[in-house]
Structure 1
Amino acid sequence: MTTTLGTASAAPGEMDTGRLEVGETRDGSSFGLPVAVINGARAGKTLYLQAASDGDELNGVGVLQRVVPQLDPAEITGTILIVGIVNYHAFQVAEHRNPIDDTKMNRAYPGNEAGTSSERIAAATFEVATQADLILDLHQGSTSRMIDEVRVRCGKRHRLHDDCLKLAKVFGCGYILDQKGPDGQLARAAPDEGIPTVDPELGGAVGWDEESIRKGVEGVFNVLNYYGFLEGETTVETQTRANGFEQYGAPGGGLISFERDLGERVRRGDLLFELTTPFGERKAEVTADSDGILWRTRRLPQVASGEYVCSVATDIDDY
């Protein structure tokens, strides 16, 4: 059966790219999101992939740029639906939020087809996503530095929690954040429709990180192999799962330097970072309150009093 997404249309064993029209720009011109349909030669499940719902989170786009050319529809069982850039307006100006309505797109799901710009885009992509059996919403830490992780956002009491957790483990970044997310996230809304969904957070800081992109590509192929879209094998390994965090702010203004690397285990009392003046005069040292893993840090060294500096995962286990 032919599968259509926007202007992309593919019969079994074919692939096509096109645009999903979602509105008009300020000069009245219509605009559409870049989409792809990969219709496998054999019937099977449907996987939905999207990237750049936050416009400056580019690693997900890098993953798709590398994954799609490697996919041969003749070798695929099932269908893969892709929206390559969700937050169209923010991507054009390399910003996090949609500048048309100053909205973080991943707080707008399931959307509203008659609402704001972000709500309309969310509604259009949600309609596509809910045709799938599995959803991967590719993200990045944006302005913060962070480890590569996969986030399960539906909450532990959700009926699909175990399915989402399994999908995160199959993706296989090595780290899983298992914590109920804010309303409006795709990974919160889609499980309510019965679809296991995770959002891989592929590294952090604004830019294009080849190592995180590589892990994302590997993760997508892990999912394709494990769930039967391809005939390869996936080795599912134990992950480090975090359920809670302690955040640390700056005790004063100045420049910070970290004494621990991302992903490094810390013990209570270990030095996390030092605060100095621009002339290197030491102002303060901040130590860990609990045992854990340095999970996330700010990107730039300059801070004002109370400004966010880093997060340590403290409620951790092996899954």
Structure 2
Amino acid sequence: MQRIDHQLPWGHLGTERSLSVFRFGAGSRKVYIQASLHADELPGMRTAWELKKRLTELEAQAQLNGVIELVPVANPIGLDQHLQSAHMGRFELGSGKNFNRAFYELSGPVGELIGSQLGNDAEANIALIRQTMGQVLDRLPAPASQLEALHRLLLRHACEAEITLDLHCDFEAVIHLYALPQHWPRWRSLAARLKAGVALLCEDSGGSSFDESCSSPWLRLAKAFPEAAIPPANLATTLELGSMGDTRVDQAQANCEAILGFLAEQGFIAGQWPQAPDECCEGMPFEGTEYLFAPHHGVVSFLREAGEWIEKGDALFEVVDPLSDRLTVVCAGTSGVLFALDRGRYTQPGIWQAKVAGRETIRVGKLVND
């Protein structure tokens, strides 16, 4: 195992932060795994520690067929943000920016540099594109903030990977994935191993999130240069490992073994591993996800559990205003998987309370919430 520590610039006087990357194995193929980019989403960090232990063992046994880079703490900035004992890890407090939005878009500058060099040899194109992605990031002007520096470091390590896992969680949720539709056939095995409830699929959710900044440039380059052989060569996903409280030892170990089994299936780990279960969740269009909101302030009482199949018109939660005695029952506008609930029980208009993944497209434009 090799440990790489990157010092982040723009620390306050007398302070500094660093990003730690743990590298296992060797070879031309690479996997990149990071956890807790939203720093208060800790199931991924706990799972990453289990991965760190297991990868150390597998490396000592010479069972790794490539490089696996692991970043257990992907956001040291957000990990340090607390207000009156409440952890604030989703947004940078100084700027208000979501830590998992607005990553640098690579396809444009890469295409300008090497578009004329791309030909019919897919493997040669992959190597050239990955090399150029790194060069583009290395040549950027000095970062203007610590957040920008963090973004660049994470993307720099991931842009060379064949498989990228970004470990998150939701407030109260079943395990679910976000990915490109083109990648779903390969992700089905991981989803089955994790017993995921749903996969949400789209090419561009509108937020320039980390996983899309790794995978989407390959699609954009293929569209920009249709005569060249450019496969979708970075299989990237945002993997939501259930609810914020899902940090039990057995859960982290099960997540770890599911991920390792998937990587073994992809040829990165040798040895005997359990086959993926035949049963797998459905891949739904992210455009089919309904966000449900309360129409007024009040106390929320959920009527269904995360992971349940919901029919259109089913009652999902009540909102009670105890001063005016106003009671509103909010019902699903689509059929699908109720995959996430808000953690708060006092709400106001504009804050989502439930998410239902449906089969039919009901939204366009920006799909992610901040």
Shorter-chain TM range is: 0.7 to 0.9
The question of 1:176 aligning with 2:176 is answered no
Matched AA of 1:31: R
Count of paired positions: 290
Structure 2 alignment gaps of length 5 or more: 82-86, 105-136, 219-232, 361-370
Name the CA distance, whole Å, in 1 between partners of 2:337 and 2:29: 37
Structure 1 residue aligned with 2:252: 213
Name the CA distance, whole Å, in 2 between partners of 1:289 and 1:107: 28
Q: Which of 39, 53, 71 is the matching residue for 1:55?
A: 39
DSSP 3-state at the match of 2:49: helix
DSSP 3-state at the match of 2:66: strand
The question of 1:89 aligning with 2:77 is answered yes
Going from structure 1 to structure 2, the CA distance change for 1:222 and 1:181 (only over 3 Å counts) comes to: farther
8 A contact 2:341–2:354 mirrored in 1 = yes
The question of 1:166 aligning with 2:212 is answered no
8 A contact 2:33–2:165 mirrored in 1 = yes
Matched AA of 1:117: Q
8 A contact 2:172–2:342 mirrored in 1 = yes
Structure 1 residue aligned with 2:213: 189
Going from structure 1 to structure 2, the CA distance change for 1:20 and 1:267 (only over 3 Å counts) comes to: same
The question of 1:105 aligning with 2:99 is answered yes
Name the CA distance, whole Å, in 2 between partners of 1:85 and 1:102: 20
Name the CA distance, whole Å, in 2 between partners of 1:57 and 1:167: 26
Larger helix percent:
2
Name the CA distance, whole Å, in 1 between partners of 2:172 and 2:28: 38
TM, length-normalised to structure 1: 0.81
Structure 2 residue aligned with 1:223: 262
Structure 2 residue aligned with 1:159: none
Structure 1 residue aligned with 2:110: none
Structure 1 residue aligned with 2:169: 140
8 A contact 1:182–1:188 mirrored in 2 = no
Going from structure 1 to structure 2, the CA distance change for 1:273 and 1:214 (only over 3 Å counts) comes to: farther
Q: What pairs with 1:71-86 in structure 2 (closer than 5 Å)?
A: 71=55, 72-73=58-59, 74-86=62-74
Structure 2 residue aligned with 1:232: 272
The question of 1:242 aligning with 2:284 is answered yes
Structure 1 alignment gaps of length 5 or more: 1-14, 157-161
RMSD: 2.6
Structure 2 residue aligned with 1:149: 176
Larger strand percent:
1
DSSP 3-state at the match of 1:140: strand
8 A contact 1:169–1:236 mirrored in 2 = no
Name the CA distance, whole Å, in 1 between partners of 2:356 and 2:237: 22
Shift >4 Å, 4+ stretches: 278-282
